Every structure is written in C-alpha cells, then in structure tokens.
Amino acid sequence: VWATSWGVSTRLMGALIMTHSDDNGLVLPPNLAPYQVVIVPIYKNEEQFEAISKVAEDIISDLRERNISVKFDKRDTLRPGAKFAQHELQGVPLRIAVGPKDLEDGTVEVARRDTLTKQTVILDRINVVI
C-alpha cells in the first residue's frame, strides 16, 4: 500500500491553529468558526432563565435571517465563566452575555474574540454591531 498524502490534512490543521491563535486559544475568522456567535445566559433561577431565553430567541432569529450561525449555550452544568473560557478557547468570534441586569437595562454585553474587547450594546442596535 502506498500512502501519498504525507499527512497533509494534519499539517494543514496545525498551520491553521498556529496562524489563528494567541495565548488564550484559537482566534478563528468567522468563516472558519463552527459558529460565529454564542449567546451565554447568566441567571440564578428558572424565571430569569425564561426571560433571558425569550430575548435570546429574538436575537437568534435575527442573526439566522442574516445567515450568521449562532449557538445558545443553555447548559446548566457549567457556570458562565467556564462557558466564556470554553468558547474563547474554541475561537468563537463573538460572545453575547445576557443577564437579569441586562434585561432591565435593555442591553447585552458583546465580547469580540479577536480584540478581546467588550462593549455594552442596546438590544435595538445589536444588528448594527454584529
């Protein structure tokens, strides 16, 4: 049996990781990321989670209409900080955090992976920022 690939796929993955990473993990371009936006809810009880979920679903439908892939990370086995770290390591380009205080203010926190910057965005203007 003659193998003629010489491990090209492995080398290409290594080159991709070397090119698109920093000390905090992957920094993937939006077109290469498994999803472009992740929404992380921050809540203490089921009532807060339901209110946040309604806002998140509106954001998700708006983003999907624009062909932006989005994941709503509603796992209850991890704390928000652990979710933030995991998505940062995976190179998700944008993270949206929504908590009870954000709902009161009508805002969300948007964090960019490439610049490691965060900004508070009014819900009505989220389509302009993303």
pTM of the model: 0.87
What is the average pLDDT value for the chain, to the nearest integer?
92
pLDDT of 7 over the 80 cut: no
All domains in the chain, ordered by first residue: 8-129 (3.40.50.800)
pLDDT of 24 over the 90 cut: no
pLDDT of 19 over the 90 cut: no
Distances (CA, A) of 78 to 59, 85, 99, 116, 119: 22, 11, 15, 22, 23
Ramachandran category for residue 49: left, alpha or beta (phi over 0 → left; psi -120 to 50 → alpha): alpha
Q: What is the 3-state secondary structure (H, E, C) of 32-43?
A: CCCCCEEEEECC
The tokens for 64 are 């999907």
Q: Give per-residue pLDDT as tens, 66-117.
A: 999 999 999 999 999 999 999 999 999 999 999 999 999 999 999 999 999 9
Distance separating alpha carbons of residues 121 and 110, to the nearest angstrom: 7
pLDDT of 20 over the 90 cut: no
pLDDT of 123 over the 80 cut: yes
Strand partners, 118: 111
CB 60 within 8 A of CB 98: no
